[in-house]
């Protein structure tokens, strides 16, 4: 819902932008390129609304005589037509764009157009034309700056074709190479496609758990990206795996989830695919009426959209439903139509599968001669494929080994990256702690240094004061104890028993000196005639 709101907001802003350009008459080429770039990841959402927006952009590009912009818009329209199963409209848009791209050097746009055309032809089961388109895209991609990503997209297309033709070993090589490149380029949307294709090959090898694992990886990536178009495909494929494991209830859940998205987005081919899958389960549950309703709807959709492989599958499954109901003539008619298509599309595996079904019908009818003819054709075709299949089995075993080794190496690489990341985080923490410790140590040493300077200064001051005190003390001679003094003449007796005048004794025992004067009282007694009172 949030992504839908974002899209509607983008749509409103874009229409306002286009109106502004028309009013102001600006040079719009650079701005058009920006808008087209913004729309590329949105081609799988709201296809009808997208076609409306692209129509406005196309008219703006035509008014500006901007050929490159017109070609890119036609490419996006072709992508949308393909998703909706309108293959003729898609091919017409591509042809018009290629005519424009031929007038000016636009190798990048031409590569995308040929790649898109190859994908359309693949959906139409026109494998030779698809291969030719991919080959043309490959030759052009070598001259483009973004060649690695474009070549990887083409590699996916090649893988799809050779897988449909039964060359599974070659297909898995294409897919593994694509997955590695998309992971390096950090393109999760394309990585999801590669995962889906790898899972398809695991399904061919009947490795159900590995197939479901890779389909689920793809679904998780597409869920995180909000890519419902490819998510619908993932759900359908997961349903197929569970159906092959006889978990039909789980399979139906995934088919209906895929169908719900496909109907909402208008993905015609996906709707038909899910109708066939659901009808096939209902057929084996003997719910024939409902099964035929789904299968007939799928066949009608495929006919309207000229999806030839889908038409083939529709006939095969309807033939199986009528055979189980013992309506042998109707079953045989559907199988005849399926065999003609399988021969036209050069699909040997589908041919001998249809021949096997036709043998069963003829045998049930009691038409043993025709049953034997079908059985002989079946064995001849199967035997002709046997040697090729044996060779492919050797290749597949080698690919399985290489795939397992690659997965182990990737797991070890991821583990090594995680260990390196953990060590890096640990080293950063250690460096941080060391830095904090170093700063703390420097601060402590600075404080200690200043404290020691202060202590040294105080000690120096104390030493100087002590020296001054010692010097003063050395000059002081202390008088202490009881001094014997004459009560009349005031002489003092020293330690040797001699009587000394008071002045002599004190001068001898201290640094004091005496000066002589007369106090007022003595002045009166001694010199009465010189006092002020007289």
Q: Which domains does the chain have, with CATH numbers?
A: 1-158 (1.25.40.10), 492-530 (no CATH)
For residues 175-197, average pLDDT: 85
CB 122 within 8 A of CB 305: no
Tokens of 363: 């045998």
Tokens of 153: 């997209």
> Residue 332 to residues 64, 341, 384, 510: CA-CA distances in angstroms?
59, 14, 25, 149
For the chain, percent of residues with pLDDT exceeding 90: 23
What local confidence, expressed as pLDDT, does residue 19 receive?
45
Collapse the DSSP code of 500 into the 3-class scheme (helix H, G, I; strand E, B; otherwise coil) and give the result.
strand
> Residue 477 to residues 276, 480, 501, 508: CA-CA distances in angstroms?
128, 10, 18, 9
Instruction: Please tell me the least confidently modeled range out of 63-77, 142-156, 192-206, 207-221.
Output: 142-156
Per-residue pLDDT at 211 exceeds 60: yes
Residue 57's Cα: distance from chain center in Å? 31
> Residue 199 to residues 210, 284, 374, 527: CA-CA distances in angstroms?
7, 25, 34, 142
What local confidence, expressed as pLDDT, does residue 282 receive?
93
Q: What is the pLDDT of residues 14-40, one digit of tens each?
A: 554 554 444 344 456 777 777 777 777
Name the strand (E) or helix (H) holding 123: helix 107-123
Per-residue pLDDT at 515 exceeds 80: no
**Which string of DSSP letters, residue by residue, matches 232-284?**
HHHHHHHHHHHHHTT-HHHHHHHHHHHHHHHHHHT-HHHHHHHHHHHHHHHHH
Per-residue pLDDT at 453 exceeds 80: no
Per-residue pLDDT at 182 exceeds 80: yes
Burial classification of residue 53, based on how many CB atoms lie within 10 Å of its CB (0-12 exposed, 13-18 middle, 19 or more buried): buried
CB 18 within 8 A of CB 36: no
Per-residue pLDDT at 445 exceeds 90: no
Model confidence at 406, pLDDT cuts 50, 70, 90, reads low
For residues 158-174, average pLDDT: 82
For residues 58-85, average pLDDT: 84
Per-residue pLDDT at 131 exceeds 80: yes
Where is pLDDT greater, at 391 or 367?
Answer: 367
Which of the listed ranges 393-407, 485-499, 508-522 does the model predict with the highest average pLDDT?
Answer: 485-499
Where is pLDDT greater, at 38 or 499?
Answer: 499
Nearest to 354 by CA among 311, 307, 297, 296: 311
Supply the DSSP symbol for 105: -
Model confidence at 256, pLDDT cuts 50, 70, 90, reads very high
For residues 167-185, average pLDDT: 82
Helix axes 308-324, 268-284, angle to 10 degrees: 20
The CB density around residue 253, as the number of other CB atoms within 10 Å, is: 15
Model confidence at 318, pLDDT cuts 50, 70, 90, reads very high
Model confidence at 389, pLDDT cuts 50, 70, 90, reads low
Model confidence at 320, pLDDT cuts 50, 70, 90, reads very high
Which of the listed ranges 131-145, 157-171, 288-302, 375-389 does the model predict with the highest average pLDDT?
Answer: 288-302
What local confidence, expressed as pLDDT, does residue 399 receive?
57
Alpha helix segments (H runs only) across 142-247: 147-164, 168-184, 188-204, 208-225, 228-244
Model confidence at 222, pLDDT cuts 50, 70, 90, reads very high
What local confidence, expressed as pLDDT, does residue 428 receive?
72
Per-residue pLDDT at 55 exceeds 70: yes
**Phi, psi at 366, each rounded to 5°:** 80, 10
Per-residue pLDDT at 414 exceeds 70: no
Instruction: Please tell me the least confidently modeled range out of 189-203, 405-419, 424-438.
Output: 405-419
Q: What is the pLDDT of residues 99-130, one digit of tens each?
A: 887 656 677 888 888 999 999 998 888 888 99
Instruction: Please tell me the least confidently modeled range out of 169-178, 303-312, 383-392.
Output: 383-392
Where is pLDDT greater, at 80 or 503?
Answer: 80
Where is pLDDT greater, at 8 or 48?
Answer: 48
Instruction: Please tell me the least confidently modeled range out of 156-170, 199-213, 469-483, 505-519.
Output: 469-483
Indicate the average pLDDT of the chain: 79
The length of the chain is: 534
What local confidence, expressed as pLDDT, does residue 484 receive?
82
Nearest to 261 by CA among 237, 231, 304: 231
**Which string of DSSP letters, residue by residue, matches 459-499?**
HHHHHHHHHHHHHHHHH-----SPPPB-TTT--EE-TTS-E
What local confidence, expressed as pLDDT, does residue 393 receive?
52
For residues 515-520, average pLDDT: 76
What local confidence, expressed as pLDDT, does residue 20 receive?
46
For residues 519-532, average pLDDT: 74
For residues 160-168, average pLDDT: 81
What local confidence, expressed as pLDDT, does residue 223 receive?
93
Nearest to 21 by CA among 38, 13, 39: 13
Per-residue pLDDT at 347 exceeds 80: yes
């Amino acid at each position: 819902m949030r992504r839908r709101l974002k899209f509607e907001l983008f749509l409103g802003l874009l229409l306002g932008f286009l109106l502004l350009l028309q009013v102001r008459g600006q040079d719009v080429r650079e701005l058009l390129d920006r808008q087209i770039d913004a729309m590329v990841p949105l081609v799988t959402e709201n296809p009808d609304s997208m076609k409306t927006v692209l129509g406005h952009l196309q008219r703006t590009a035509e008014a500006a005589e901007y050929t490159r912009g017109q070609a890119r818009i036609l490419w996006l329209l072709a992508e949308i037509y393909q998703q909706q199963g309108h293959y003729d409209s898609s091919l017409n848009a591509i042809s018009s764009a290629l005519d424009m791209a031929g007038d000016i050097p636009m190798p990048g746009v031409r590569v995308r157009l040929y790649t898109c055309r190859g994908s359309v032809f693949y959906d139409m089961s026109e494998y030779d034309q698809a291969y030719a388109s991919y080959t043309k895209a490959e030759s052009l991609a070598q001259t483009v700056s973004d060649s690695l990503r474009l070549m990887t997209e083409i590699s996916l297309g090649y893988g799809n074709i050779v897988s449909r033709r039964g060359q599974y070993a070659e297909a898995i090589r294409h897919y593994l190479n694509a997955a590695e490149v998309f992971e390096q380029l950090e393109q999760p949307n394309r990585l999801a496609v590669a995962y889906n294709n790898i899972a398809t090959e695991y399904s061919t090898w009947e490795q159900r758990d590995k197939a479901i694992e890779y389909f689920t990886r793809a679904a998780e990536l597409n869920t995180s990206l909000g890519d419902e178009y490819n998510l619908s495909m993932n759900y359908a494929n997961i349903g197929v795996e569970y159906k092959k494991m006889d978990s039909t209830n789980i399979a139906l859940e995934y088919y209906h989830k895929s169908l719900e998205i496909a109907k909402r987005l208008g993905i015609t081919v996906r709707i038909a695919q899910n109708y066939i899958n659901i009808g096939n389960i209902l057929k084996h549950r003997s719910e024939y009426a409902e099964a035929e309703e789904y299968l007939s709807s799928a066949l009608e959709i495929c006919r309207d959209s000229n999806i030839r492989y889908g038409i083939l599958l529709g006939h095969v499954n309807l033939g199986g439903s009528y055979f189980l109901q013992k309506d042998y003539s109707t079953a045989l008619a559907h199988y005849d139509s399926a065999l003609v298509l399988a021969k036209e599309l050069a699909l040997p595996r589908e041919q001998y599968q249809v021949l096997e079904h036709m043998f069963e019908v003829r045998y049930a009818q009691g038409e043993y001669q025709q049953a034997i003819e079908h059985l002989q054709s079946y064995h001849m075709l199967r035997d002709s494929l046997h040697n090729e299949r044996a060779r492919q089995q050797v290749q597949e075993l080698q690919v399985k080994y290489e795939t397992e080794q690659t997965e182990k190496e990737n797991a070890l690489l991821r583990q090594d990256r995680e260990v390196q990341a953990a060590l890096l985080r640990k080293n950063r923490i250690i460096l941080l702690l060391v830095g904090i410790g170093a700063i703390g140590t420097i601060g402590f040493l600075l404080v200690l240094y200043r404290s020691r300077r202060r202590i040294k200064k105080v000690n120096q001051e104390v030493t100087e004061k002590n020296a001054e005190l010692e010097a003063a003390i050395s000059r002081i001679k202390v008088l202490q104890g009881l001094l014997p003094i004459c009560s009349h003449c005031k002489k003092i007796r020293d330690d040797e028993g001699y009587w000394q005048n008071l002045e002599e004794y004190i001068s001898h025992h201290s640094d004091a000196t005496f000066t002589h004067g007369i106090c007022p009282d003595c002045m009166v007694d001694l010199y009465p005639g010189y006092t002020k009172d007289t």
